[in-house]
Amino acid sequence: MYRPNGDQATSTKGKSFLLKYKFLRSFRLRIFLIIMLIGMCSLVIMRRGLLANERNAAIDQRSSSVMSMMRILSNRIGSSFFLEDISDGEISGDLELLAEVYNARFIVTDSELRIVFDTADVDTGKYLLAGNAISAFRGKSVSEFDKEEGVIEIAVPVYSSSVDLDAEKSANAVILAEVSAKPVLNAVEQKSERSLLIELLAAVILLGVALIVSNIVVRPFDRVTRAIRGVVSYEDSELVVSDYMETEEIVDAFNDLRTRMKAVDESRQEFVSNVSHELKTPMASVKVLADSINMMPDAPIEMYKDFMQDISAEIDRENAIISNLLSLVKMDKGAGALDVQKCDINLMLENLIKRLGPLAKKSEVDIILESMRNVTADVDELKLASAITNLIENGIKYNKKPGWVKAHLDADHRFFTLTISDSGIGIPKEEQAHIFERFYRVDKSHSKEISGSGLGLSIARRTILLHRGSIKVDSEPGEGTTFTIRIPLSYIADNTSGAD
Ligand code: ADP
């Protein structure tokens, strides 16, 4: 996916920052922060919600108590001549008193919404066009809280008792009050300060809880680390940390890895001991031959020559083992070990069969080549030729006299198939799975007469796998053996595993 350079720079920066400050990647810290974040958000939201509720309830209570007073006054004004003569001292006195008690301003209008009485005494004679005054004039008592000004505005209609309420809808007058909400808001503010203290206390408790919970949550992972660090050898018992499904999976994966590593280690140890053994055998023979000739001061020159030939053969054997080992090590490094080029497989087979002619003749074995079509494929010719040579050589070596070895070549549009069958001694069924292992030789007793190191087939198999091909064996003891090789015509460079 394309990413602009700037983004990449930031993400690498972020990564290196996290790498530098290791603790920031701590799972424990992240759990702690998540708990704190959720807890603090809930506390703040809860406190705000509670305070808002409290403030609304206090404002509602204040406005309904002022409104009920205003209703009483509305009835009194309706049944008096206050509107005609505001010098009615009793009502105006009560309005003044209420204004003082509630820290409010009361306004009374006439039927034309002209202010006839104002406790603040500033707008008398003016017309009142406020929306809630008009609503009250239409017969509806209204109460509204003006947040910005911090006042509650209440409007109540006044009906003259002489008017038939059913016939006349509009009020005769309106009483309007502007009540300061400050005392209510101050009380709520004080409560808010007290609740802030409680919130701080709750935050401290939350901090403790977050610390404890994050430690408890992470503890099983600490146990996994301790258990893994405690493992010192493959023989230690299997790890079990079953607190979480996840820890169980980590521990299972570790146990699996340990089993696989144990197998690799065992095969490495076996390989080293096999190599040492195989390398020692020719050296031991050389030593025996040299010592025996040394112990015979008057040995004839023919005997010397004979012994020297044997010594030379042993050195050749040692050399063959070492070069086989080197090719195996090279091929273990991967497909880079191949030098793939277009190759005429028919020609390659003809040439290698020609080279094996003298050996076959000596062993009274006929080599037959059956080619169904011309095959050209992308292969490493040298390595593939030596793998096939090894298979045909085995066919000659492990054969009867007289015998035959047949190479049959065919291809489809994707693969070429080469079968190499012989009329030889065959391989017992239970041994067939092991013959591709390093240093494995089926019958140690006949191994003495038939030279070999047990490395040929494992090199051949590795070569074929590097070509993304497959090799299989089919054999009947006493009747013969067939090896079938299948290799793609075009080399697939990206595929990492061979079809085996
Ligand atoms: P070696 O150098 O011993 O031939 P290989 O890896 O080529 O080693 O073969 C491993 C073993 O498999 C041989 O020792 C032999 O016992 C058995 N084997 C291989 N090819 C044949 C065959 N064509 N017929 C019978 N046995 C075979």
Residue 386 CB less than 6 A away from ligand 1: no
304-332 pLDDT, tens digit each: 899 999 999 989 989 988 988 888 888 87
Helix 245-294 to helix 301-332 angle, to the nearest 10 degrees?
160
Closest residue CA from atom 17 of ligand 1: 442
Which residues have C-beta within 8 Å of that of residue 263, sequence separation ≥ 6? none
Residue entry with tokens 């005997």: 303
Residue 391 CB less than 6 A away from ligand 1: no
Q: Which domains does the chain have, with CATH numbers?
A: 24-230 (3.30.450.20), 245-330 (1.10.287.130), 338-488 (3.30.565.10)
Computed on alpha carbons and rounded to an integer, the radius of gyration of the chain in Å comes to 52
Q: Which residues pair with 410 in a beta bridge?
A: 417
Cα gap 60→107, rounded to integer Å: 21
Cα gap 207→35, rounded to integer Å: 9
Residue entry with tokens 């007073």: 69
Which residues have C-beta within 8 Å of that of residue 330, sequence separation ≥ 6? 337
Residue 403 CB less than 6 A away from ligand 1: no
Cα gap 13→34, rounded to integer Å: 24
CA of 447 to the centre of ligand 1 (A): 9
Q: Which two tokens stand for residue 246?
A: 């996840």
Residue 481 CB less than 6 A away from ligand 1: yes
Whether residue 459 contacts residue 440, with contact meaning beta carbons closer than 8 Å, is answered with: no
Strands 104-109 and 173-180 turn out to be antiparallel
Q: Which two tokens stand for residue 73?
A: 């006054």
Q: What is the pLDDT along the chain (500 residues), one digit of tens a residue?
A: 334 444 444 556 666 766 777 788 899 999 999 999 999 999 999 999 998 999 999 999 999 999 999 999 898 888 887 877 777 678 888 888 999 988 899 999 888 888 988 998 888 888 887 888 888 888 889 999 988 888 999 999 988 776 555 545 677 889 999 999 888 888 888 888 888 888 899 999 999 999 999 999 999 999 999 999 999 988 888 899 889 999 999 999 999 999 999 988 887 888 888 788 888 888 998 999 999 988 988 888 898 899 999 999 989 989 988 988 888 888 877 655 688 999 999 999 999 999 999 999 999 999 999 999 999 999 999 999 999 999 999 999 999 989 999 999 999 999 999 999 999 999 999 999 999 988 888 875 555 567 777 889 999 999 999 999 999 999 999 999 999 999 999 987 754 444 44
Cα gap 249→346, rounded to integer Å: 53
CA of 368 to the centre of ligand 1 (A): 20
Atom of ligand 1 nearest to the CA of 457: 6
Q: Catalogue the long-range contacts made by 136-142 (C-beta closer than 8 Å, 24 or more residues apart).
A: 136/171, 136/174, 136/175, 136/176, 137/109, 137/113, 137/170, 137/171, 137/174, 138/169, 138/170, 138/171, 139/169, 139/170, 139/171, 141/67, 141/71
Q: What are phi and psi of 187, to 5 degrees?
A: -60, -45
